[in-house]
Every structure is written in structure tokens, then in C-alpha cells.
A = this chain, B = another copy of it.
């Protein structure tokens, strides 16, 4: 009953090593060949487990976004939830080197059930009384802002000067607060 040896690789080991490589070398250093070398394997071996580099980036992006959704503290109002989500996004982008750039360049997942995905994303806001249309629009706005801010902070055209002039954390907070409280105008009633 000798079973054959377990495969050396699987998707989890692959993605894990990719994150380690990203941390050490940054996004430009994240090549399939280097990843293979770190795993003690030849580059083509990776293609048994994933279709192409785009899929790898997509898996990594999911792992970056996931804790942001999971990490939003309980909120009594959808505005509080959005603010919490914005801060969680900023934190998760900061956790991984080049995290925002990776998420911006990762292709959208192919096979995912997008309707289901969108429903899950809108769910926390729907539970707080927001219709799905507005919920998605607001979430999209907050993600865009956080994503854009991280890109801008990393290498925007006036980074050097802003670095002296501005507290990035505080200014992000101001922008996020403004964005979310401004959503009130787009909501009837309250």
C-alpha cells in the first residue's frame, strides 16, 4: 500500500511563495522563472497548476482584497461600514508590497459567478438598508479611491513634494470621510 509521493507543488504553495517573492523583490521582481526557482522547480512546472501569470495575479489580488472585506468592524449605519471598509482597504494595500499596483493590474477572474460575487459584496450594505444599485456604486467609489490613493502615494507626479507637505494618512482620512458623507446627497430621505 505504498502511496505515490505527494506532489511537490499545489496552488497554495505557489501563491504563498509568490507573496514571499513579492515582499522581497517587488512587483517587477515577481517573474514566473524566479518563482519557480524559489520553489526548486523549473518554470514550465508552474503551468500545470495555473493557466498563466494573469491567473496567479488574480489569486493574489483575491488574497489582498479578502481581509479587507472580512476586517470591517460591525457597523450600525452603512456610512460607518463604508468608512471601515475604506480603512481596511488602505491597511491591506499597505500590508503587501506593491499591493495596490498588483490589484490594479490583475485581470478580472474569468469563471467566477459575478452576480453572486456582486451580491456578496453588496450584502453588508443591503443589510443596513441600502439598495443594491447604490451599494455597488458606493463600494466601487470607495475601492477606486483607496486604489487610486495608494497608486498616487506610491509614485504620483507630486509625490516628493506631498511627502513633505502632507500627512498621507490624515489626507486619506479626510478624502474618505468627504466621499462617504457626501453620499448622503445621493440618498433620498435621510
Contact = CB atoms under 8 A, between A and B. Distances in A.
A137 interface: yes
The majority secondary structure among interface residues of chain A is: helix
A180 B177 CA distance: 11
A125 interface: no
Contact of A152 (B147, B152, B158, B166): B147
Interface residues of A, number: 53
Contacts of A151: 104, 144, 147-148, 151
B136 A179 contact: no
Given A143-B148, A145-B179, A171 B108 contact: no
Interface string A104-123: 11111100001101100100
A188 to B, nearest CB: 13
Contacts of A157: 61-62, 65, 108-109, 117
A185 interface: yes
